Amino acid sequence: MTRTAIPKVGFISLGCPKATVDSERILTRLRADGYAIAADYASADLVVVNTCGFIDAAVDESLEAIGEALEEHGRVVVTGCLGARAALIREAHPEVLAVTGPQAETEVLAAVHAHLPPPAHHPFTDLLPAQGVKLTPAHYAYIKISEGCNHRCRFCIIPSLRGDLVSRPIGGILDEAHALVEAGVRELLVISQDTSAYGLDTRYRTDFWQGRPLRTDTETLARTLGELQAWVRLHYVYPYPQVDRLIPLMADELILPYLDMPLQHGSPNVLKAMRRPAATEQVLERLADWRRICPALVLRSTFIVGFPGETEADFEQLLDFLHEARLDRVGCFSYSPVAGAAANALPDPVPEALKEERRARFMALQAEISREKLAARVGQRAIVLVDEVLEEQVIARSGADAPEIDGRVLIEGAWELEPGDFIEVDLIASTEHDLIGEPVTGD
């Protein structure tokens, strides 16, 4: 390990976008305290690993990353969701310097200070941008509007890791969003564990932003974010009745006509076993109403197959739901037990081979729906946001596509564009996942 005049901290960030936001906050505070951020193990004086612990595969990945950091460097502080299970980490890796749980920025800083004191002079404080350190590309950013969750789904341990719902003051969120847009961010991705529950814990308390009193709720937040010069995309929105008030904002193009909803299943029996809302017919009716109000609405969701007790009839109901809902973007996971989840005590586990067979059938149906949906967009024009410019291809996204999880708009050829540019394209072809476009150069 090479010591330097300015202490350097290496950082590994794992998990979902909510964990990415946590990492950005920790890195911002480290920089403000005078630490430099190391690009590799060799140049670091200490390594922080922000872990994920939601499912067993994520636990394994986190433990492996901790082990690699210890092997490559030796001085490691662990934080994040898996940090809530400190005994598991210390059993696997007793040599870690400290373990803190999620939402523990102060504790992480204290652990780093204890093992790598900051310099007396903080050379980077004046260099930090108003929005702090970002881990995403310059042209888009995640904004986390709340912590925790009030649901008690049997397959999920998030409340035990991150606690109940705690909404951020709306003024602070808008200050952050404004600073990001002023710094050049062109897309704001609103995230939380339950975005449509924002403000419920505060009973929609009033806060102030730029002299205006604003109600702390999802509609007011979305409407005010829509005043900024950026795309606004909502993730993790449960289909509650209050979401109805968001759809006119999308129809009026104030925010993107895009909803990411964790529906999880289409069988009432399985949904009840999951402790999820089980009114699938009401969900389908609500989706139909939303599409009437906003025909351009794009719907994304995730589902779980093979939950304990799922019968073939339950699975067929799920396929029927998928066929009728005709969602634009869908992810599907085979159920796997999570340590500490209430679902572990349920009877009638589904065999692994059957889980995978059902998942394959599910994805085959969705692939057909996705192909049809994309093919229907050929011949239209769209505004797209440039993500990457290569020598002979430009990779962009339309408002229908969230970064990293959805499809892309591919533009062939060499073009004088930059990431973050908005351009208009004609959609000329489609594949199973992506669209092909060409810039509109004049009529």
For residue range 59-106, what is the model confidence (pLDDT) as tens digits? 899 999 999 999 999 899 999 988 888 999 999 999 999 999 887 888
pTM: 0.89
Is 153 annotated as belonging to a binding site? yes
- H or E stretch including 56? helix 56-72
Amino acid code (one letter) for 442: G
- Spatial separation of the C-alpha atoms in residues 76 and 64, rounded to whole Å: 13
The DSSP code sequence of 164-209 is S-EEPPHHHHHHHHHHHHHTT--EEEEE-S-GGGTTGGGTS-EEEE
Tokens of 33: 């305290």
Model confidence band, residue 3 (pLDDT cutoffs 50, 70, 90): very low
- Spatial separation of the C-alpha atoms in residues 366 and 371, rounded to whole Å: 8
Is 294 annotated as belonging to a binding site? no
Model confidence band, residue 1 (pLDDT cutoffs 50, 70, 90): very low
Per-residue pLDDT tens for 107-125? 999 999 999 998 876 655 5
69 φ, ψ to 5°? -65, -40
Grouping H, G, I as helix, E, B as strand and the rest as coil, residue 111 is helix
Find the mean pLDDT for residues 374-394.
Answer: 95
- Class of residue 132 by CB neighbours under 10 A (exposed 0-12, middle 13-18, buried 19+): middle
- Cβ contact 169:207 at 8 Å: yes
Q: How many residues are given for the chain?
A: 443
Is 332 annotated as belonging to a binding site? no
- Spatial separation of the C-alpha atoms in residues 89 and 107, rounded to whole Å: 17
According to the model, what pLDDT value does residue 339 have? Answer: 78
Amino acid code (one letter) for 29: R
